[in-house]
Amino acid sequence: MKRSEIKKRGISPMIATVLLIAMVVVMAMVIFLWFRNMAKEEITKFGDENIELVCEDVLIEASYNSQTNSLTILNNGNVPVYGIKVSIYTESGNDEITLDKSSDSNLEGGINQGGIYTKSFSDSVIKEATKITLYPILLGNSNDGVRVFTCSNKEQEIKI
């Protein structure tokens, strides 16, 4: 057989075009979803102020009484606190508890400015604690309605 007699076959131009368009659409979807997940949903408080900036005005003080096994939290800031995320560190690991209106009816209205909240613990986990870290939780508004936001940069640490 001579070289001129061998017919070379490839993909038809129509199939190649469809494959290229499909690859571009898939790549565009991947990039769109990636950017959409990177953009955080904005949560605001007090009208249009970003809730992360409102966290700077949060000032809580806490103390733990080992005799009564109770935790007392005082809100000295300018912002009402909806709840508190409590991280309890022990020799064997750590536990997290969220104190809010769903876990304690005494927190129905949160901890207002100048307010005091006391929580008595009955379990032995907190008795074995070496350190307790508290993170204030605020309520804010978003496009989806009311959302909770944890101020992770405003922690209050109690060494036991």
Domain extent listing, the chain: 8-38, 44-159
Q: What is the mean pLDDT of the chain?
A: 85
Rounded mean pLDDT, 75-93: 89
Do 126 and 67 meet the contact criterion of CB atoms below 8 Å apart?
Answer: no
Do 51 and 138 meet the contact criterion of CB atoms below 8 Å apart?
Answer: yes
- CATH code of 44-159, in short, is 2.60.40
Do 106 and 117 meet the contact criterion of CB atoms below 8 Å apart?
Answer: yes
Residue identified by tokens 């953009």 is 39
State pLDDT tens for residues 126-153.
777 888 999 999 988 888 788 889 998 8
Q: Which residue type sits at 132?
A: I
